[in-house]
Structure 1
């Protein structure tokens, strides 16, 4: 596991080599526990090693009528980016019931930001650490399946919940499998001529952000 004490060790290097350090990241996510805990866990590990300024911002989405707007989240990220210089800006959000999912992704990309989206929810990314999932299921079923895996592997006392502060550490041993499965999902959709994230269910691009961050974690 990527325990904090391990991540804090000094990295021995041979003369003439340099340790690549992460830049300053802004990660903006909607107001849910899981994503914030996950990326804050990575933030703690990296900052202990490099003292870099990685900011994880929680933004509560406004409610307009009966639907939530992810475009609001993207606009909040644009505002926050304007206040400070960042090497990378990422927006993290779910499909859930959002009606402007594709539009928000296009807006973020147009503004030069990266998007780690999930269809339907972030728990899909976590579930892919433990199994393949090739058919759409309700996001509540992600939780049930995660509970089964946590119980079988005796993770977090055998129970998954959204408030696990070290959720990245717990799932880290399986992260390479999750990255591979996530990429395969996207590839399979594209082979079927499905290119709209809104229709890529199940699908996620969280692996892009995680792959970017874990390359700095000392194993």
Structure 2
């Protein structure tokens, strides 16, 4: 039987909690988009993470190219720009290096960074893994680790099996907020730690810069346009 609705007394109709809100003439000003940046990534994790930054006055076009070779990613970025109707104020390519592939990967990694820089792109590369950037929110390391280390450590910090759960859409969609809300996580410290790592290895060939993540440069750019 449906639950009966409690009648409102005539004397209660004038009370504040029974009054309908009047329409307001207050208008919220909108801030026009004055900057468009293109972020071309290797995977879903990066795309959803960067799209989650609450920017204002900036449009972020993030594209997931699903694990192409690094040089192919640079070439695809060129094609995206050629066919796009947008005039980009900045172009970022985001990729990491899987050292398991050895010399072939080293060459692809180095050549792609050099080609991207030559074309005027910003290259937010990581070695060995993009997840190094997340790990630096919690701790500093200057030891050479493979991505399995970061997966294990992040799994402990997030309370999940990172290999199984960390790449899923729902988790990636909330990752920015998860990192910002965790009392043990600090984006500010992650930026400082990443800058410290880069200064230590910047004079080495790109594939020898391990650990390193230049994601901090893209994060700093996005932070300039955050909704306050």
For Structure 1 versus Structure 2, the TM-score category normalised by the shorter chain is: 0.7 to 0.9
* 1:56-205 alignment, distance < 5 Å: 56-62=62-68, 69-84=69-84, 85-96=87-98, 97=101, 98-99=105-106, 100-151=108-159, 160=162, 161-163=166-168, 164=171, 165-172=173-180, 174-190=186-202, 194-205=203-214
Cα–Cα, structure 1 residues 169 and 126, in superposed 2: closer, same or farther, change >3 Å?
Answer: same
Contact 1:21 1:216 in 2 (8 A): no
Structure (1 or 2) with the larger CA radius of gyration:
2
- For 1:87 and 1:218, locate their aligned partners in 2 and report how far apart those are by CA, in whole Å: 19
Contact 2:44 2:66 in 1 (8 A): no
- For 2:39 and 2:174, locate their aligned partners in 1 and report how far apart those are by CA, in whole Å: 17
> Residues 56-83 of structure 1: CA distance to partner in whole angstroms, max 9, x if unpaired?
1111345xxxxxx210000000111122
| Residue-pair matches, total | 182
1:55 to 61, 64, 87: 61
1:159 positional shift: 6.2
1:162 positional shift: 2.0
> Residues 15-51 of structure 1: CA distance to partner in whole angstroms, max 9, x if unpaired?
xxxx896610110011x22112211212xx22xx43x
2:48 to 37, 44, 48: 37
> TM-score w.r.t. structure 1 length?
0.76
* 1:196-215 alignment, distance < 5 Å: 196-215=205-224
**Can you give the 5+ residue segments of structure 1 that lack an aligned partner in the other structure?**
1-9, 12-18, 63-68, 152-157
Contact 1:189 1:195 in 2 (8 A): yes
1:195 positional shift: 2.3
SS of match in other structure, 1:82: helix
- For 2:208 and 2:220, locate their aligned partners in 1 and report how far apart those are by CA, in whole Å: 24
| Residue of structure 2 equivalent to 1:24 | 36
| Residue of structure 2 equivalent to 1:16 | none
**Can you give the 5+ residue segments of structure 2 that lack an aligned partner in the other structure?**
1-27
1:216 positional shift: 1.4
